[in-house]
Amino acid sequence: MKLETRVSSFQFPVSNFKFQKRGCFIQEHIAYISIGSNIGDKLLNCQNGIAALTTSGKSVLHAQSQFYKTEPVDYKDQDWFINAVVKIGTSSDPFQLLNELKSIEGEAGRTKTIRFGPRILDLDILLYDDVVIDNISGLSVPHARMHQRRFVLRPMCDIAPELVHPVLKKDMQYLLNHLDDNEQKIIQFK
């Protein structure tokens, strides 16, 4: 099992802790989540996904990107997506967070279809603190293809352009600027 982190277990800044009503502190982890939909009322699906994520009591919204209309990647024979990225603080570990995201997708009506196919709601962990997880129990953090996806990098740059990818050691703006210009059309959604 390969799990590495660059955060020392004994050096937690006060800002990483959140006071709970019961009078105790819990550690708050920072995660970036991509949101997408290309079925039905896509914008509403994304908004509902964000609301479900932040009303669970385990996560709070710190920042949200603009919404973007994006051309599908890999499987092209489908409607365009609406995509965004949110920055959350969460008390969940990465595996708990993944389960929470899958539960929200299921409640929204997502069913298994073809890989990269249409979906009513898609929620993916992009980054979780500085943690690196190499495909353990179906989870890879950072997301394995985030640095190749304009629909991820453009909204990431709305909220964290200087954030450094923990493996590639390049910031989000650099990664976006160095994507192939022919790769995926993206339009700010109004």
**Torsions phi, psi of 82, nearest 5?**
-105, 130
Q: Which of 22, 41, 77, 119 is catalytic?
A: 119
Q: Of residues 124, 129, 150, 154, which has the active-site annotation?
A: 124
pLDDT for 126 equals: 97
Number of neighbouring beta carbons within 10 Å of residue 165:
18
Q: What is the pTM of this model?
A: 0.84
Residue 147 has pLDDT above 50, yes or no: yes
Whole-angstrom distance, CA of residue 63 vs CA of residue 141: 20
Query: Tokens representing 117?
Result: 């196919």
CATH for 26-188? 3.30.70.560
Instruction: Using pLDDT thresholds of 50, 70 and 90, give the confidence band for residue 11.
Output: very low
> Alpha helix locations (H) across the chain?
42-54, 94-108, 150-159, 172-177
Q: Which residues contact 83 (CB under 8 A, 6 or more apart)?
A: 34, 35, 36, 46, 67, 68, 70, 151, 152, 155, 186
CA distance 52 to 62: 15
Could you give the 3-state DSSP secondary structure of residue 81? Answer: strand
How confident is the model over 133-137, as a mean pLDDT?
86
Which of the following is catalytic: 6, 77, 122, 181?
A: 122
Residue 103: C-alpha distances to residues 108, 123, 144, 189, 190 (Å): 9, 10, 21, 27, 29
What residue ranges do the domains of the chain occupy? 26-188
